Amino acid sequence: EAAGEAEARLLLLQEARESIEAARSYRRELQQRLRGLHQARQQIKESATLTRDVLEQHFNDLKGTLKKLLDERLLSLLQEVDVIEQESIKPLDECQKLIEHGVSTADELLREGESAVDGDVGQQNEKLCNFTKKALHIQLDSLPEVPSLVDVPCLSAQLDDCLLTILKNEIFRHGTVASRPPVQLEEFVEKPGGILVRWCKVDEDFTPQDYRLQFRKGTASHFEDVYVGCETEFMVLHLDPHVDYQFRVCARGDGRQEWSPWSVPQLGRTTLVPHEWTAGLEGYSLSSRRNIALRNDSQSCGVLYSKAPTYFCGQTLTFRQVLAGIETVGQPDRRDSLGVCVEQQNGFDSLQRDKAVCISTNGAVFVNGKEMTNQLPAVTSGSTVTFDMEVVQLGPCSNEGGNFKLRVTISSNNREVVFDWVLDQCCGSLYFGCSFSYPGWKVLVF
């Protein structure tokens, strides 16, 4: 009976502990949801504040610009009035001067005539004769013509009230407030020294023409464009590992000039160190970041290896140029190779050897130095070659080694080959390498 009671007590204690743990889990979930609600509330408030600031700044700028344009137009019209007034008054001023001169001449002639009529009889004939000659010379019957009022300008301003209606209609239609952007960031995929950013359309009624991706480092104040195009993903390279970067994306509708609202900014980071080629090999010139290798015109040949075994199974290793695959191509050679290997081995002029898999520029695939029957398209200008590997362990793995199978997928120009690569040792990471017999090949690795 005592044992039964003890067992029942233990059962009750177990059920109580399970209930306590369930309550703790329930509380954690509720707290997490409260944090989610807080973040959502904060996003609404911050975006609303930012939108108000943008609207106020935009309309203040519009008012300033509109006032400036109206002032400039007013000044132009006033200057036009001044020009017309001056050009129209000038001939009237000249006519006035002519008439005033005629009045002065007539006054003087009147005085002479009255003096001649009222003068002494002895001098009267001579004065009358001189006066008559002078009067005939002045041509008293010739008068300057004065334009009638209908023939001179009468200035007025024609102001079309429909401008206010047009402006009113345009202003009432100007600007919109969107509660949700038509595109959102969807996924961040870590890459060595970079992040593959993907986004998607979330508005079914929106037809995108192209996209615009921006990012900024940490708490930097300004975003910068990193991609504009029609793709829905982009590889952002040259990023520092273990540093937060903020991303946002927007879109432009089909046939539109303006961009849509920005997506909700999201943080992304990479913990993978960038791939680098080994510096110092005579036959190759490297970029400043040592992720681009150019086969120069040196007669020296050999395999250019990575600085360290930075390729891990489960990742994708890509050989291509930043913008358009392999940027330039030299003369192909059967010994050319792009691939991965277990270890660096000097003295070889190709990765077509043991403990390595590679593709030649003619598309041939080699596994441990043996050519496979399957072949990929030739590597040419614009090509991109990727390696994907996953591990399948055949035997026990220990410090002394063991049988190891790697399932390898090599892709080139939308075609791929899949095969198993059997190794006699465990490989946590691999080197990558390349070899080209002739100059002109330029390859980026990431």
Co-location of 233 and 167 in the same domain: no
The per-residue pLDDT for 386 is 93
Co-location of 188 and 169 in the same domain: no
| Residue 80 within a domain | yes
Co-location of 310 and 423 in the same domain: yes
Listed residue (55, 142, 62) closest to 105, CA to CA: 142
The boundaries of the domain holding residue 409 are 284-445
| Residue 4 within a domain | no
Q: Is the pTM here over 0.95, yes or no?
A: no
The per-residue b/e assignment along 83-105, b for 16 or more CB within 10 angstroms, e otherwise, is eeeeeeeeeeeeeeeeeeeeeee
Give me 222's structure tokens: 């300004």
The per-residue pLDDT for 324 is 34
| Residue 1 within a domain | no
The per-residue pLDDT for 329 is 67
Q: Judge whether 424 and 343 are in contact, CB under 8 Å.
A: no
- Regions in the chain scoring below 70 on pLDDT: 1, 119-124, 139-141, 321-329, 394-402
CA–CA separation, 315 and 318 (whole Å):
10
Helices and strands per DSSP (H, E), number in the chain: 3, 20
Co-location of 329 and 407 in the same domain: yes
Co-location of 59 and 112 in the same domain: yes
CA–CA separation, 352 and 368 (whole Å):
7
Give me 237's structure tokens: 């390279």
Q: Judge whether 117 and 130 are in contact, CB under 8 Å.
A: no
| Residue 7 within a domain | no
The per-residue pLDDT for 63 is 94
Q: Judge whether 189 and 237 are in contact, CB under 8 Å.
A: no
Co-location of 288 and 264 in the same domain: no
Q: Judge whether 212 and 229 are in contact, CB under 8 Å.
A: no
**Last residue of some domain: 123, 142, 173?**
173
Co-location of 334 and 439 in the same domain: yes
The per-residue pLDDT for 325 is 39
Listed residue (111, 109, 103) closest to 136, CA to CA: 109
The per-residue pLDDT for 267 is 93
Number of domains in the chain: 3
Q: Judge whether 307 and 379 are in contact, CB under 8 Å.
A: no
For residue 223, the domain's CATH number is 2.60.40.10
| Residue 5 within a domain | no
Co-location of 290 and 430 in the same domain: yes
Segment 164-191, tens digit of pLDDT: 888 888 888 888 887 889 999 999 999 8
Co-location of 105 and 253 in the same domain: no
For residue 440, the domain's CATH number is 2.60.120.920
